[in-house]
Amino acid sequence: MSKSKDMCSGCRNDYYNGQGANECWSYNDAKVVTRYRISWWTPPTQPGAFKKVTTLTCHHATGKYAHYDELPSCAVSL
């Protein structure tokens, strides 16, 4: 998958992509990666708690969810 600013949606720095400035300072160096996302208030042992997503290395969504590079050993599959 190729990098696009659509992947910035939900990131706290997405504001800088044309709204607060011309472009987010992290976008040029960002790489597309596969990560595992979990909501802040979801127990990690709950089946299906982690969702596999394709995102940018710089993506941060403070107060919404966390990203893991690898699926944690405590994760339970369905």
- The half-sphere exposure of 3 on its side-chain side, counting CA atoms within 13 A, is 12
Asked whether residue 13 carries a pLDDT value surpassing 70, the answer given is yes
**19 vs 30: which has the higher pLDDT:** 30
Q: What's the whole-number mean pLDDT along residues 38-54?
A: 91
Does some domain include residue 49?
yes
Does some domain include residue 75?
no
Q: Distance (Å, rounded) from C-alpha 51 to C-alpha 18?
A: 29
Q: Residue 50's pLDDT is what?
A: 94
Q: Residue 78's pLDDT is what?
A: 52
**9 vs 15: which has the higher pLDDT:** 9
Count of domains forming the chain: 1
pLDDT bin (cut points 50, 70, 90) of residue 20 is low
Does some domain include residue 78?
no
Does some domain include residue 41?
yes
Domain span including residue 43: 5-68
Does some domain include residue 74?
no
Task: Please enumerate in sequence order all residues whose Cβ is within 8 A of that of 14, keeping only pairs 6 or more positions apart, or say none.
Answer: 8, 24
Asked whether residue 5 carries a pLDDT value surpassing 60, the answer given is yes
**Cα-flanking dihedrals φ and ψ of residue 6, to 5°?**
-60, -30
